Amino acid sequence: MYDTTRWCAGPCMNGARRKVRQYEEAKTVYLAALAAWHTPLLYPARPESPRFQPVYGEPVYDPACIYALKAKMSKLDGAACVYAQQADGHRAQKQGGRVSGSNTRASLSPTVEDLDEFDGWLRDWRATYLRIDTQARQGGLADSISIGCAWLVARSERILRHPDLALGFGQEINRWHALLVTHDPSDVVVHRKDLRCDWCRGQTLEWRPGDDSVRCRRPNCGRVLRLDEYNEQVDDQVKAS
């Protein structure tokens, strides 16, 4: 009934996808109730079709989502610089210690490993765009990241309009944005959510733009909800009221 394959793959259609998913689930329940129906006065109620205005991709993302993804991409270089300040040089020693006489080198810090992976991601996408093999890093890590980010920002709109490359590139921009920008206090906006935490019952749920989860800020609670799960709870409360 709904041709979701043509919809924009960005967050602008998340609400519509949720409505369609809920409608399909309600329709399954309705058909099962109809098959078991016997009492004339208790005829099962047919679920109403959801109403929304679809936004179509061009061909994957619509122009507004392309602009938003390009804006996220443009922030990754600065966010990576702030994140790099947290590098501690080495990982904490593993439980059990190192075997005496071992020549195993201490591993890089998690921060440096993340940035090294990020730099590889930048170089991989440059190679994908140019249809060449991924080239080795030239120069230091920070310089390589800055060059890679600038190169991809200049070409991000073309990649995000490419039918075969757009979806993966957009999803990975969101992933890196969620990891890196949360470490840049100048760019983090925390939104307090209206619903109470279903674990500790406090009005303590928060969401950061770019994150796919809603989290309770109480350290002794630690509740984490997927963003779509939280939105479903909002819909349930609206229906109940």
Whether residues 81 and 178 share a domain: the answer is: yes
Whether residues 162 and 196 share a domain: the answer is: no
Whether residues 121 and 147 share a domain: the answer is: yes
Q: Assess whether pLDDT exceeds 70 at residue 95.
A: no
| Residue 215: domain span | 191-240
Q: Which helix (H) or strand (E) holds 69?
A: helix 63-84
Whether residues 79 and 129 share a domain: the answer is: yes
104 part of a folded domain: no
142 part of a folded domain: yes
Whether residues 72 and 119 share a domain: the answer is: yes
Reduced to 3 states (helix: H, G, I; strand: E, B; else coil), residue 192 is: strand
Which tens digits make up the pLDDT trace of 113-149? 999 999 999 999 999 999 999 999 988 999 999 999 9
Strands (E), the chain: 191-192, 205-207, 213-216, 224-226
Whether residues 133 and 71 share a domain: the answer is: yes
Q: How far apart are CA 156 and CA 66, in angstroms?
A: 8
Q: Assess whether pLDDT exceeds 80 at residue 206.
A: yes
Whether residues 169 and 130 share a domain: the answer is: yes
102 part of a folded domain: no
135 part of a folded domain: yes
Picking from 140, 157, 183, the residue at the C-terminal end of a domain is: 183
Over residues 11-26, the mean pLDDT reads 89
Give me the phi and psi of 165, to 5 degrees please.
-105, -25
**Number of domains forming the structure of the chain:** 3
pLDDT band of residue 185 (cuts 50, 70, 90) is low
Quote the pTM value: 0.67
Q: Which two tokens stand for residue 17?
A: 């996808």
Q: What share of the chain is helix, strand, coil (3-state, %, to 5)?
A: 50, 5, 40
Q: Assess whether pLDDT exceeds 70 at residue 102.
A: no
Residue pair 75/68 in contact (Cβ under 8 Å)? The answer is no
